[in-house]
Structure 1
Amino acid sequence: MAPVGRGLRLVVTSSTAAPVTRASVGLRSDRGPILASVMLSTALVAIDTTILATAVPAVVEDLGGFTQFPWLFSTYLLAQAVTTPIYGKLADVFGRKPLMLLGIGLFVLGSVLCALSWSMTALIVFRAVQGLGAGAIQPAGVTIMGDIYSVAERAVAQSYVAGVWATAAVVGPTLGGVFSEHLSWRWIFWINVPLGALAAVVLARRFHETAAAEARSERRPIDVAGAVLLAAAAVLVLLGLLEGGIRWAWWSPAGVAIFASAAVLLGAFIAVERRVADPVLPLWVFRDRVLNAATIGAFVVGMVMLGVTSYVPVYAQRVLGAGAIVAGLAVAALAIGWPIAASTAGRVYVRWGFRPCLLAGSVFGLAGTGIVALVGPDSPVWLLALGCLVLGLGLGYVASPGIVAAQSAVAWRNRGVATGTNMFARSVGSAVGVAVFGAVANGVVASHVGGGRAAGEVDLEALPVGVLDPALHAVFVGVLLASLALVVAGLVMPNRFEPVSE
């Protein structure tokens, strides 16, 4: 069923003035430690996405398997992304706390196994275990914040998590280099054990909810068939996007077969979801206007963020001649703008509605990507940083309010599904960005140097500036065009609606 009426004014009533009663956290002061636990858990997930990048040479020297090392990243991201919507549903069935503790437990177990790895194959497999834990931590953590904070307060809470992700993008590679150079690459994983244990203990002692017992008493059936079909289809789609044009050509038999198989599985998934009583991903999610707007926004945020964070540092170093630290600071400006916008977004959507908030984000997003697209070989590095800063403001006004709107538009029993769907959309957007922008860059390179090399086979950093500049400029123009879809997200979002409460 559609979870909320449309066209109604967003009023700060009991549903927005106080946390919902399904999550009983005791004293109001308990919310601080709970938020800290969620942030710490999120930091572990976010940092482990990038921390191995600078440690790869040390890992390969110790374990061998140079040709396999890209799977250290792909396996982790695949396991995380594919399971996110499923965990979101399970959080609605069993409660947020059990799923969050399960995620932390799997992540810590995977970290221990990674630290003890004896071969590259073993490390890849154990990274998948980490990814399974990360897939639970993300939706459960964000849903917990939706439970304990009011609508008006959630934007500030989300800004802290946004800051964690943005900071991790910069801190992760640095920590990886420090550990691998001065200690051992295995400390990248050992450090997760005490931090994960601390997060779990705080959450277990401070967060109390009645949802798990109530859900078990309701005996809501688990849609196993739907979960399996969704996971299998998502694996094929993401694998096809991440490896297409690299391990196989897009229009090769393998490239076509993987997407065709995904389409068949998606068709079977839809058929199952229409019949089961309690689907893992209810189809009404795709008919709800608020959720559609939030999903579109999340998808574009993932795509645009990938394009900027992947290619701006290369442009700053190889075209503008900046050092590695300056290049890192240029893209880190995005990490400054995002939390600032996210923390102020609450005042915007409470006073004027979610649509003006998302549209403001689209304006900042277009301005930021426009500045980046205008940067040329003679431009100062600070102009590139300015574009990232403005883009960060735009993403902050879209991503965090989008999650808050999605959570507010559904009842408690569907909040995990809404959150998981939103976060899955961002992961898919990032995968699409990898495929699209990689193809754009390599297409321009091919037109300049000739040859039929597939996307991903060209080392951008080894190219002369005369080839690299137009290739990366084409990517930045593509990011600008992609950011136009942020306007669509804003227009689809209803300006006013009354949040659902229980």
Structure 2
Amino acid sequence: MPERRSGLPPGVTTTAAPTRASVGLRSDRGPILGSVMIAIALIAIDATILATAVPAIVRDLGGFTQFPWMFSAYLLTQAISTPIYGKLADNFGRKPLMLFGIGTFVLGSVLCAVAWSMGALIAFRALQGLGAGAIQPAGMTIMGDIYSVAERAVAQGYIASVWAMSAVIGPTLGGFFSDHLSWRWIFWINVPLGLLAAAVLWVRFDEKASLADHHERRPIDWTGAFLVAAAAALLLLGLLEGGIRWPWWSWQSAAALGGAALLAILFVGVERRAADPVLPGWLFRHRVLNAAMVAGFIAGVVMLGVTSYIPVYAQQVLGAGATVAGFAVAALAIGWPIAASTSGRVYLRCGFKSCLFLGSAFGAIGAGILTLVGPDSPIWLVAVACAVLGLGLGYVVSPSIVALQSAVEFRQRGVATGANMFARSVGSAVGVAAFGSIANAVVADRLGGAKAAGAVDLADLPAAVLDPALQTVFLAVAGCAFLLVLAALLMPSRVGPATSGTEATRE
């Protein structure tokens, strides 16, 4: 039976530390956490590591007009497969899905390293994305399985630090390999690290007894899985490419977004009749999960506005070098892990709702500071804004994941985590589309028409044009940051208990 610990907020209970029967010895959890961190670091770094290697890759393989798909193919397949993998993790276990994801990612890396053309490289990047789509939800679900509510904040802090540092390490490492070795080493380095993570997980993570307690073999909803993947693919394709490869008001956008809507309607109809739907309807009626998904969606939007446009603003308007601009954005990587690792003290003492309110306050303050930045501002002001905004996201995103994992049963934790990861991916795509449209609209107005603006890259614009365009984006980021309050309002004051028999933690 779960015991109530002193210092926990009303409605929060937890069991003792995980037992040997469910997750292995307590001493096993450190190596398991380490293997999950390595695997997540690989997929996080590979999302950005190619940015500085593009010139070398194009010189070697050609296909300059195709190279953006190196990024899009990876992110697209990762995003559309995440909710499906989350469901499969509940059906077949987290360990098999994690090992499958690492294996697929390593295989994709080997194929990328020997790619003979840009088309082949893009196809193999898509395969990498399919592996990454399994690693993220399975890894985060494992953290929810092996750590108690009180311990998850520290574990989430480690995971958050991995994502934050990867955003800085990725481009730097890609440039180093391209300049001193070969761009192909970007992919070869994944092989030993991926095999190490898989070996540690294979040896140290034992979930057989836990699966015996919670697992029941259920039919796989293949029709629903296909429909949700296809709908998500068209949606993300329309959002990522609209306004870039084709105009928003074009038949391509109408086909992509309209097709996504049609498939989504078909998906809802199929899921109502499915014996075990891939995205059960209760996900969207659960207050804790709704709050967590709203938080993830808004965080995805805000993150894109910060990481995509602040480096351009710092270099083109403030006159900072690329390294200094990178360090300014890296301040986000300082605030987020600090908040994630200390958030446990807040939600254990005051509850998840109060923690989300604290995060939304920091987010609003950080985004507000960002709106004060102008052409004469010092670069440290940008760094301060990023650091405070990072604190806000850390106090919102990580506690939201802990809350949703604690509010559902063991056999529902994978699909809930996958849905949250998917919401963040969709938020990122919406952020790309929305902020790009805002910036382009201001540029078009300054240059005297959309046609004039369409042929110019943002980074090539003069400061007098770029400054108002990106300041408008920063205002939009601030508006989105204020919307984090919605996530706090949706979170119930008391997080109800998950009612599984021997799971490591309950609320």
Settle same-fold status: TM greater than 0.5: yes
Aligned-partner SS, 2:46: helix
Q: Do the aligned residues in 1 keep the contact of 2:340 with 2:399 (CA within 8 Å)?
A: yes
Q: Do the aligned residues in 2 keep the contact of 1:233 with 1:265 (CA within 8 Å)?
A: yes
Cross-structure match for 1:234 = 232
The correspondence for 1:354, drawn from 310, 327, 352, is 352
Structure 1 gap segments, 5+ residues each: 1-7
Cross-structure match for 1:97 = 95
Cross-structure match for 1:364 = 362
Looking at structure 2, the residues matched to 241 and 415 of structure 1 have their Cα atoms a distance apart, in angstroms, of 29
Give the alignment of 1:77-476 within 5 angstroms.
77-210=75-208, 214=212, 218-453=216-451, 458-476=456-474
Aligned-partner SS, 2:450: coil
Q: Do the aligned residues in 2 keep the contact of 1:245 with 1:455 (CA within 8 Å)?
A: no
Q: Do the aligned residues in 1 keep the contact of 2:447 with 2:453 (CA within 8 Å)?
A: no
Looking at structure 1, the residues matched to 374 and 436 of structure 2 have their Cα atoms a distance apart, in angstroms, of 20
The correspondence for 1:477, drawn from 463, 475, 478, is 475
Q: Do the aligned residues in 2 keep the contact of 1:166 with 1:335 (CA within 8 Å)?
A: yes
CA 21–415 in structure 1, closer or farther in 2 if over 3 Å, else same: farther
Following superposition, the deviation at residue 216 of structure 1 comes to: 11
- Answer with 419-428 or 256-265: which moved more: 256-265
CA 380–318 in structure 1, closer or farther in 2 if over 3 Å, else same: same
Following superposition, the deviation at residue 283 of structure 1 comes to: 1.0
CA 203–186 in structure 1, closer or farther in 2 if over 3 Å, else same: same
Deviations 1:71-90, CA, capped at 9 Å, x for gaps: 00000000000000000000
Q: Do the aligned residues in 1 keep the contact of 2:444 with 2:452 (CA within 8 Å)?
A: no
Aligned pairs, number: 492
**Identical residues among aligned pairs (%):** 70
Looking at structure 2, the residues matched to 484 and 456 of structure 1 have their Cα atoms a distance apart, in angstroms, of 31
Cross-structure match for 1:486 = 484
Aligned AA (1:13): T
Cross-structure match for 1:35 = 33
Q: Do the aligned residues in 1 keep the contact of 2:100 with 2:131 (CA within 8 Å)?
A: yes
Q: CA RMSD in A?
A: 1.6
Looking at structure 2, the residues matched to 246 and 328 of structure 1 have their Cα atoms a distance apart, in angstroms, of 25
Deviations 1:285-312, CA, capped at 9 Å, x for gaps: 0011000000000000011011001111
Aligned AA (1:11): V
Cross-structure match for 1:63 = 61
Q: Do the aligned residues in 1 keep the contact of 2:91 with 2:216 (CA within 8 Å)?
A: no
Aligned AA (2:10): R
- Answer with 295-304 or 314-323: which moved more: 314-323
Following superposition, the deviation at residue 255 of structure 1 comes to: 0.9
TM-score w.r.t. length of structure 2 = 0.95
CA 455–486 in structure 1, closer or farther in 2 if over 3 Å, else same: farther
Aligned-partner SS, 2:177: helix
Deviations 1:224-253, CA, capped at 9 Å, x for gaps: 000000000000000000000111111111
Aligned-partner SS, 1:278: coil
Deviations 1:193-214, CA, capped at 9 Å, x for gaps: 0000000000000000027864
Looking at structure 2, the residues matched to 167 and 237 of structure 1 have their Cα atoms a distance apart, in angstroms, of 29
- Answer with 388-397 or 216-225: which moved more: 216-225
Aligned-partner SS, 2:11: coil
Q: Do the aligned residues in 2 keep the contact of 1:22 with 1:147 (CA within 8 Å)?
A: no
Structure 2 gap segments, 5+ residues each: 1-8, 502-507
Following superposition, the deviation at residue 22 of structure 1 comes to: 7.1
Looking at structure 2, the residues matched to 270 and 21 of structure 1 have their Cα atoms a distance apart, in angstroms, of 40
Aligned-partner SS, 1:156: helix
Following superposition, the deviation at residue 10 of structure 1 comes to: 2.8
Deviations 1:114-163, CA, capped at 9 Å, x for gaps: 00000000000000110000000000000000000001111110111111
Deviations 1:147-184, CA, capped at 9 Å, x for gaps: 00001111110111111011011110000000011000
